[in-house]
Structure 1
Amino acid sequence: MTNDLQTQVIRKLTWRILPFVMLLYFVSFLDRVNVGFAAITMNHELGLTPAMFGLGGGIFFLGYFLFEVPSNLILNRVGARLWIARVMVTWGLLSAASAFVVGPHSFYALRFLLGVAEAGFFPGIILYLSQWFPTRQRAMAAAAFMAAAPLSTAIGSPISGALMQMPAFGGLHNWQWLFIIEAIPAVVLGIAVLRLLTDSPDKARWLTRDEKAWLIAVLREENLQRHAQPGHTGHALGALRDPRVWVMSLIYFGTSAGLYTLGLWAPLIIRQFGFSAFDTGALNAIPSVLAVVAMVLWARNSDRTGERTWHIVVPCVLAAVGLVWAGFAQSATGVVLALVAVNVGISAAKAPLWAMSSTFMSGAGAAAGIAMINSIGNLGGFAGPFAIGWLKSATGSYAAGLFAVAGSLAVSAMLTLMIGRRGYRVASAVH
Structure 2
Amino acid sequence: MPSVDRIVSKAMRRLLPFLLLMYVLAFLDRANIGFAQKALQHDTGLSDAAFAFGAGVFFAGYALFEVPGNLLLHRVGARAWMCRIMVTWGLVSSAMCLASTPGSFYVLRFLLGVAEAGFFPGIIYYLTHWFPQAARGRAIGVFYFGAPLAFIFGGPLSGLLLDMHGLFGLAGWQWLFLIEGGLASAVGVWAFWYLDNKPANARWLDDAERRVLTEAVERDARHAAAHGPQQVIDALFNARVLLFAAIYALIQVSVYGVIFFLPQQVASLLGTRVGLKVGLVTAVPWLCALAVTWCVPRHADRTGTHRAWAVMLLVLAGLGIALSGMTQSPLLALLALCCAASGFIAAQPLFWTFPTRYLTGAAAAGGIALINSLGSLGGFIAPSLRALVQHLAATGTATSGAAAGLAMLGAASLVAALLVGTRVPREAAPSADTFEPRAHRAR
TM-score by length of 2: 0.93
Q: In the alignment, what sits opposite 2:416? A: 412
Checking the alignment, whether the CA contact within 8 Å between 1:308 and 1:426 is kept in structure 2 is no
User: What one-letter code is carried by the residue in structure 1 that aligns with 2:182?
Assistant: I
User: What one-letter code is carried by the residue in structure 1 that aligns with 2:406?
Assistant: L
Q: Residue 262 of structure 1 is aligned with which of 255, 258, 261?
A: 258
SS at match of 1:390: helix
Q: Residue 282 of structure 1 is aligned with which of 277, 280, 285?
A: 280
Matched, 1:240 2:242: no
Q: Distance in 2 between matches of 1:427 and 1:185?
A: 42
Q: Distance in 1 between matches of 2:208 and 2:219?
A: 16
User: What one-letter code is carried by the residue in structure 1 that aligns with 2:415?
Assistant: V
Q: Distance in 2 between matches of 1:251 and 1:220?
A: 28
Q: In the alignment, what sits opposite 2:318? A: 320
Q: Distance in 2 between matches of 1:88 and 1:53?
A: 25
Identify if the C-alpha distance between structure 1 residues 117 and 427 changes in structure 2 by more than 3 Å, giving closer, same or farther. Answer: farther
Checking the alignment, whether the CA contact within 8 Å between 2:165 and 2:173 is kept in structure 1 is no
SS at match of 2:325: helix
**Which piece of structure 1 moves more, 267-276 or 175-184?**
267-276
SS at match of 1:398: helix
Q: In the alignment, what sits opposite 2:140? A: 142
Q: In the alignment, what sits opposite 1:179? A: 177
Identify if the C-alpha distance between structure 1 residues 430 and 206 changes in structure 2 by more than 3 Å, giving closer, same or farther. Answer: closer
SS at match of 1:97: helix
SS at match of 1:48: coil
User: Could you list the per-position Cα deviations for residues 272-303 of structure 1 after superposition, in whole angstroms to 9, with x for gaps in the alignment?
Assistant: 23224111111100000110110121101110
Q: Post-superposition shift, 1:226?
A: 2.4
Q: In the alignment, what sits opposite 2:103? A: 105
Checking the alignment, whether the CA contact within 8 Å between 1:50 and 1:393 is kept in structure 2 is no
User: Could you list the per-position Cα deviations for residues 9-61 of structure 1 after superposition, in whole angstroms to 9, with x for gaps in the alignment?
Assistant: 11210111100000000001001100111113111221222221111111100
Q: In the alignment, what sits opposite 2:439? A: none
Q: In the alignment, what sits opposite 2:28? A: 30
Q: Distance in 1 between matches of 2:428 and 2:30?
A: 32
Unaligned ranges ≥5, structure 2: 437-443
Q: In the alignment, what sits opposite 1:354? A: 352
Checking the alignment, whether the CA contact within 8 Å between 2:4 and 2:216 is kept in structure 1 is no
User: Could you list the per-position Cα deviations for residues 373-416 of structure 1 after superposition, in whole angstroms to 9, with x for gaps in the alignment?
Assistant: 11111111112222223334452332221111111111101111
Q: In the alignment, what sits opposite 2:220? A: 222
Q: In the alignment, what sits opposite 2:187? A: 189
Q: Post-superposition shift, 1:152?
A: 0.6
**Which piece of structure 1 moves more, 84-93 or 333-342?**
333-342
Checking the alignment, whether the CA contact within 8 Å between 1:162 and 1:278 is kept in structure 2 is yes
Q: Post-superposition shift, 1:228?
A: 2.8
Checking the alignment, whether the CA contact within 8 Å between 2:59 and 2:110 is kept in structure 1 is yes
Identity of aligned residues (%): 39
Q: Distance in 2 between matches of 1:47 and 1:389?
A: 18
Q: Post-superposition shift, 1:308?
A: 2.0
Once superposed, what is the RMSD of the aligned Cα atoms?
1.4
Unaligned ranges ≥5, structure 1: none
Q: Post-superposition shift, 1:430?
A: 4.9
Q: Post-superposition shift, 1:75?
A: 0.4
Q: Distance in 1 between matches of 2:305 and 2:196?
A: 31
Checking the alignment, whether the CA contact within 8 Å between 2:132 and 2:435 is kept in structure 1 is no
Q: In the alignment, what sits opposite 1:370? A: 368
Q: Residue 153 of structure 1 is aligned with which of 151, 155, 170?
A: 151
SS at match of 2:229: coil
User: What one-letter code is carried by the residue in structure 2 that aligns with 1:398?
Assistant: A
Checking the alignment, whether the CA contact within 8 Å between 1:315 and 1:344 is kept in structure 2 is yes
User: Could you list the per-position Cα deviations for residues 317-353 of structure 1 after superposition, in whole angstroms to 9, with x for gaps in the alignment?
Assistant: 1111011101212132222111101101001111111
Q: Post-superposition shift, 1:263?
A: 2.0
Q: Distance in 2 between matches of 1:171 and 1:162?
A: 16
User: Could you list the per-position Cα deviations for residues 168-195 of structure 1 after superposition, in whole angstroms to 9, with x for gaps in the alignment?
Assistant: 1333211111100111111101100110
TM-score by length of 1: 0.96
Q: Distance in 2 between matches of 1:312 and 1:11?
A: 24
Q: Post-superposition shift, 1:143?
A: 0.5
Q: In the alignment, what sits opposite 2:305? A: 307
Q: Residue 165 of structure 2 is aligned with which of 153, 164, 167?
A: 167
Checking the alignment, whether the CA contact within 8 Å between 2:216 and 2:435 is kept in structure 1 is no
Checking the alignment, whether the CA contact within 8 Å between 1:323 and 1:405 is kept in structure 2 is yes
Checking the alignment, whether the CA contact within 8 Å between 1:312 and 1:416 is kept in structure 2 is yes
